[in-house]
Amino acid sequence: MKSTLQYRAYLNTKQKLEANYWLRVCRYWYNRQLGDRFDWWDNNRTKVNACPLVCPLPELRDQPTRYGQQSQLPGLKTDLIKVFHSGELLDFTRLDSTVLQDVCKRADDAFKRYISGDSNGLRSGKPRFKNQSSYRTMVFAMVKPRWIHLVRKNWLYIKLPKLGMVKVRMHRPMPDGAVVKRVSLTKKADGWYINLTVADPTVPKLTPDQIVPTWDNSIGLDAVLEGDDYIATSENTKYKSAKPLRKSLPKLKAVSAKKSSKRKGSKARRQLALRESRIHQRIARQRQNHRYNLAHLLVKTGKKVFFLELLNIKGLTKRNKPNKAADGTYLPNGQSAKSGLNKSWLDAAFGEFITTLDYIASKAGAVVIKQKPAYSSMILSYRNEVIFTDCSIRKYYDPVEKVLVDRDVNAAINLKRLGLGVFPSIKRRSGKLVVSGDMDNSTTKQIVSILRDGTDTRSLLSLWPMA
């Protein structure tokens, strides 16, 4: 089994300068390959909707390929390469050959995903030229065992080609018998990190068992953006949200405003840009730590099936369409309020949480199943009645069963019912919802007991009129 371990690397001053120079050359070589491919496509294609009467013939040459562009490297190493827009002289001989070859692979993969699509047939957008913030990783594809010289307690000393001995802090041990297959060096806001892709032959290939969802071994999870809540479960529990962006927003705005007031290219602006990037890095790490901790908490409940709602994050965070009047003026379209909601959706990062939960659950022998959440938040989970008709209705007190039903917990229970196939069929007739289907008596008792266990008596006193 292959896995990637990331460690903090401590480069000396000379190595930092050399590694930054390597990134500069890699960015130039990547952008040069993309530009060559774009030029070939512009010169060798014809518009579909028109046929030009006069067409200049370009220089006939084969379509650029990965190995065709890679064969240019020996010629580029014979002399210094002058950058057209800056006049900078770049020396390709200072870089390791496998690092430059990996740049060719990255450019080829980016263009293939744009033209043909990936293994799933999904195409990505047009490849972009890389700048200092978007190209930060160098890959050493061929690793030799003699690169790792010494492992002493929590420190690893690895010798990288043309960079020398690099000191690495091992905050977690490497598996016994693991073989390093690939090494990559990444520059982040707070320093350099090294990624070791290791293959452990002692770990067998995971073959998950076929799990049959039941009421006892499954749990429903509903995404929440109300207040400080993040996730509601069908067990009548709620988990808090971290909200890292909201909490760090005042500091981030102050640093960004101060940076914008400085002259471009000045030392003060670069220092403030570094502070801004570290704030963004802290936000990303807080968000990652929150979703991993929450995923582990959910897996430790012992459930084998997790039912989540299928969220269209891209559609939920889409801007409202402009509202244009007959005279050409633009009317309010609610985008001001929608922008705050979009920020909350992106700060919650539910898509990343679902991916993390799926990864951790798979290692524990559990599965994550996504369900379409249509009408799951409107139907009362134990009576099949339409109760929560508006988003402003957050709680509902049932005087018959004497339980206080939370909207989000009710939606999580309905997601669980939907996954188990006991959710009613819903049709819309004459603008009204019609729920068809009978409730199982045992299921009703289980749901009511779950809701009754979490009912707050003080809330009941505030909702139920005193005699």
β pairing state of 367-371 and 305-309: parallel
Lowest mean pLDDT among 75-79, 232-236, 251-255, 420-424: 420-424
pLDDT at residue 447 tops 90: no
Q: CA-CA-CA-CA torsion for 460, 461, 466, 467, nearest 10 degrees?
A: 60
What is the average pLDDT value for the chain, to the nearest integer? 88
Given a contact cutoff of 8 angstroms between Cβ atoms, the answer to whether 11 and 19 are in contact is yes
Give the model's pLDDT for residue 421.
87
pLDDT of residue 431: 64
Closest C-alpha among 51, 389, 16, 6 to residue 182: 6
pLDDT tens for residues 110-155? 999 998 888 787 888 899 999 998 999 999 988 888 888 777 778 9
What is the distance of C-alpha 29 from the center of its chain? 28
Q: Which residues, listed in sequence order, are joined to residue 183 by a DSSP beta bridge?
A: 140, 196
Please say if the pLDDT value at position 466 is more than 70.
no
- Percent of the chain scored above 90 by pLDDT? 55
Say yes or no to pLDDT of 430 above 70: no
Cα dihedral 263, 267, 272, 273 sign:
positive
Integer Cα distance of 320 and 296 in angstroms: 37
| Amino acid residing at 296 | H
Q: What is the pLDDT of residues 317-363, one digit of tens each?
A: 998 899 988 888 999 888 888 888 899 999 999 999 999 999 999 98
Distances (CA, A) of 352 to 147, 288, 346, 375, 446: 35, 9, 10, 24, 32
Whole-number Å distance between alpha carbons of 135 and 99: 13
3-state secondary structure at position 302: coil
pLDDT digits (tens, 9 = 90+) for 263-279: 998 999 999 999 999 99
Q: What does the pLDDT read at residue 454?
A: 63
Say which amino acid occupies 428.
R
